[in-house]
Chains A and B, each alone.
Chain A
Amino acid sequence: MRITAEGLSWLASGTPVVRGVGLDIAPGETVGLLGPNGSGKSSLLRCLAGLRVPDAGTVRYDGLPVRDWSARRIARRIAFVEQDSGLDTDLRVADVVGLGRTPFRDRLHGPDATDRAVVAAALDRVGLTALAGRSWRGLSGGERQRAHIARALAQQPYGLLLDEPTNHLDVRHRLELMELLAGTGQTVLVALHDLTLAARYCDRLLLMHHGRLIASGPPAAVLTTEHLAGIFEVDAELATDALGRPAVCYRGPLRPAVPASATATPPEPAPAPAPRPVSTLREGTS
């Protein structure tokens, strides 16, 4: 499924969060969506998933504008996984994955044999078969995240939109998850914080900053030291892994200015009281 957007803008109570984004994701492509906190990744994903009505612009699936589509029609095309809400519910893991069958069921019917088989396949795919009967509240953060992925897979989607799905996952599960997403053969747009992971598994990366899409292209074209410094505000150098993909090696957060007393570096003009997180300043002075 091809996902396209033109001039997409979305305001949150008057403040622009997504500004004039245009994108085109080809069928079967795995695309990573990068950007620092607050850059508009989550909102863009929600606009693309039909969960927010854009204030301007159009979202198309395979060329068809989705603006007037029902939630059900969208749900039969695309699956969406948000960051884990961490809610305690009494639902079993299999029940949660079974929610993915909702778009295919009418009001009068419960799960049938097909639904159960799909759920079993989805659980198997994310390695949670053993936990199928377990209550949701007993799961670890990583297990919950995988269950959500399984729920999305149970939607048999043409496209997957995921908001930081690797949160809470250990290294092995991160790699497995990314392998799984890239291997579905479906269109995947995944917001990620782990730049190296994104570069390793995505065909293409999109980079957002202040609501705008400022770069799009193969990993090596998007992950540049300029972007790392200018947008992520980190001091890093780029290596190349065995597959020829960029890997990020961090030196530390970018220090715009350091008090003279703290280090032996040459004195610079006194730093302006920049609106920077306190923790960053502390790290800078230690």
Chain B
Amino acid sequence: MSADPGTVDLLLPAARDVRVDGAPSRRVRAGRAGGPARTGLFLAGVLVLAVSVAAGTRIGAADVGWTDLGRVLGARLGLGTEPLPPLLDSLVWDLRLPRVLMAALVGASLAVCGTVLQAVTRNALADPYLLGVSSGASAGAVIAAVLPLALAGPGAGALGVTGGALVGALLSFGLLLALLRRTGLDSVRIALTGVVVGQLFTALTSLVLMASADADTTRALTHWLLGSMAPARWDAVAVCALVTPLGLAAAWLCANSLDGLAFGADTAASLGIGVRRTRMLLLVVTAVLTSVAVATVGAIGFVGLIVPHGVRLLVGPLHRVLLPHAALAGAVFLVWTDALARVAFAPREIPVGVITALLGVPLFLVVLRRKGEL
């Protein structure tokens, strides 16, 4: 326990102006991939995502070749290639492409929300729906579906469900904030209040479903509640493409603070982190990201739970590194599970939430085992 003789004691305030250059102590860096290796991993992840999106676009009810994909993109982007027949072009451009991009955006969004909420609530079981947002969205969607609003005209039904879901999600989050106001936003309280709000809106959903008793509506909503990428269109992609990067950036800017929260509010605050402000900001960010995702494609489970754990195993728990990798992994995971949902039981298409759960459960067990917790 002594400082190196002949050098400044780096642990004194007087040493704050000292700048150290060059390679740091090797002993400290041992154990996990360092800077360049990590950058390499991230770039590899970006590449995998790009390939996944391209490959995912080929998979579905109709096989789409690379040249066809090129022709669609070429024609749509004005590169003067010969377009495909209109219906095939529409299949790729109007349905497949937005769907795959939506999967990537929603996957990234859910994985990051899960990572953030696991840190904020210090609960390994936290997922994006912990705040009750998905229950709020379901209640909103169900109410919109059974209200006369849905009958306003053809096409209004679908819009009503999406709009209702968004309103419901934001309302449930508003209720959560109202219940949490004047509290210190401590971890356990956030989780418990989220569960309570979720239960309330779940009960509301059941009530409306029971009262309306329309078998077709019920079936349609069940499909939606499980989570399905089928309704994804360019308008939804545009909303997500706007909101998701903003949310991810906000979360990433809080990365240092998220690390500090690992030892609780007091230690975090003593490290100079504005704990309440950070938690509030992150709650709002995750609630908005989750609401937008749920409103369009339903409550797709397990992505936000399993991906953070898996990625943490790979790149470690420091959020500066963890968050971008989780985003990439979530995007790749959902692009492929959705592709599987399209073809696994063809010609029937199943909700992607079923696939994520089927794959998520065994993956989760593997992660727990690797961490020595099972």
Contact = CB atoms under 8 A, between A and B. Distances in A.
Contact present between A and B (CB < 8 A) = yes
A180 B266 contact: no
B11 interface: yes
Nearest to A161: B270
A203 interface: no
B259 A91 contact: yes
A140 B4 CA distance: 27
Interface string A87-128: 101111011100110111101101001101111111111110
Contacts of B320: 110
Nearest to B7: A121
A125 B318 CA distance: 24
Contact of A49 (B18, B25, B263, B270): B270
Interface string A66-84: 0000111111101110100
Nearest to A121: B10
Interface in B15-32: 15-16, 18-25, 27-32
B304 to A, nearest CB: 18
Contacts of A75: 270-272
B168 interface: no
A120 B3 contact: no
Interface string B50-68: 0000000000000000000
A107 B252 CA distance: 8
B272 A72 contact: yes
Question: Which secondary structure dominates where chain B touches chain A?
Answer: loop
B32 A87 contact: no
A36 B371 CA distance: 40
A120 B272 contact: no
Q: How large is the interface on A (under 10, 10 to 19, 20 to 34, 35 or more residues)?
A: 35 or more
B118 to A, nearest CB: 11
Contacts of B19: 113-114
Contacts of B28: 94, 116, 119-120, 123, 129, 132-133
A117 B12 CA distance: 13
Contacts of A118: 10-11, 15, 20
Contact of B317 (A89, A157, A158): A89
A182 B215 CA distance: 75
13 contacts: A46-B266, A50-B269, A80-B267, A85-B264, A90-B316, A91-B262, A92-B32, A94-B29, A95-B318, A107-B255, A118-B11, A120-B28, A134-B31
Interface of A: 46, 49-51, 70-76, 78-80, 82, 85, 87, 89-92, 94-96, 99-100, 102-105, 107-108, 110, 113-114, 116-127, 129-130, 132-134, 153-158, 176, 179-180, 184-186
Given A90-B316, A92-B32, 6 more contacts: A46-B266, A90-B312, A95-B317, A116-B29, A119-B28, A125-B11
- 10 nearest interchain CB pairs? A133-B31, A75-B272, A116-B24, A72-B272, A80-B270, A103-B272, A117-B20, A121-B10, A90-B317, A120-B25
